[in-house]
Structure 1
Amino acid sequence: MSARLVTLGLLALLGAVHAELWLGKNGLPRVMELQARLDEQQSRNEAARARNDQLAAEVRDLREGLEMIEEKARQELGMVKPDEIFVQVMPRR
């Protein structure tokens, strides 16, 4: 009789643990909700990362573009900045 009570007690305890796992405050439904929120946040982060990469590429292009324009203006048009002195060296003929 006592072995039967121990078995029933262990089964009841196992049932309580499973009930907590499946239906409890931090059970499976909560885990699934948190996983869905995590997936959503990761997709938002990926979209933001892509946008940041695009903006960084645009900034890089603008910086390189301005440097290229300045170099071309210096070589072809003789552009001089306000604090610079323009010196032109002519090769001998």
Structure 2
Amino acid sequence: MKTLAVILVAFLAAIQAQLWLGKGGLARGVQLRAELRAQDAANEQARARNAQLQAELLDLKEGLEMVEEKARLELGMVKPDEIFVQLRR
């Protein structure tokens, strides 16, 4: 009977050691939670960027004003019979 109790205590100790120190133990759980928080922050930044791009896409689809503004500012385009004047300060 004593040997059975010793064997059961040894198994219990081995299981507890695996829980605390093993590959899937508590330290790994803490590390995974930290990685999860970092990934959540990156996802939030990506969501904000996606919302900004979605708003810009909606503007491009619905209005020519943004297209015209981008063409003027980024490409230096002008309308026919229009004179481009640039002022420097």
TM-score interval, smaller chain: 0.5 to 0.7
**1:15 Cα deviation after fit:** 0.5
Unaligned ranges ≥5, structure 2:
66-89
1:54 corresponds to which of 36, 52, 68: 52
**Scaled by the length of structure 2, what TM-score is found?**
0.65
Match of residue 26 from structure 2? 28
Cα distance in 2 between the residues matched to 1:25 and 1:65? 56
CA–CA separation in structure 1 for the residues paired with 2:8 and 2:57: 67
How large is the RMSD of aligned CA atoms in angstroms? 1.5
Aligned positions, number: 65
- Choose 1 or 2 for highest CA Rg: 1
Q: Distance in 2 between matches of 1:23 and 1:58?
A: 51
- Runs of 4+ residues over 2 Å off in structure 1: none
Q: What 5-or-longer segments of structure 1 have no aligned partner?
A: 68-93
Q: Secondary structure at the match of 1:57?
A: helix
Aligned-partner residue type, residue 31 of structure 1 = G
Identity of aligned residues (%): 52
The one-character-per-residue Cα deviations of 1:21-59 (angstroms, maximum 9, x if unpaired) are 101122110121012102211220121011111111022
Deviation at 1:62, TM superposition (A): 3.1
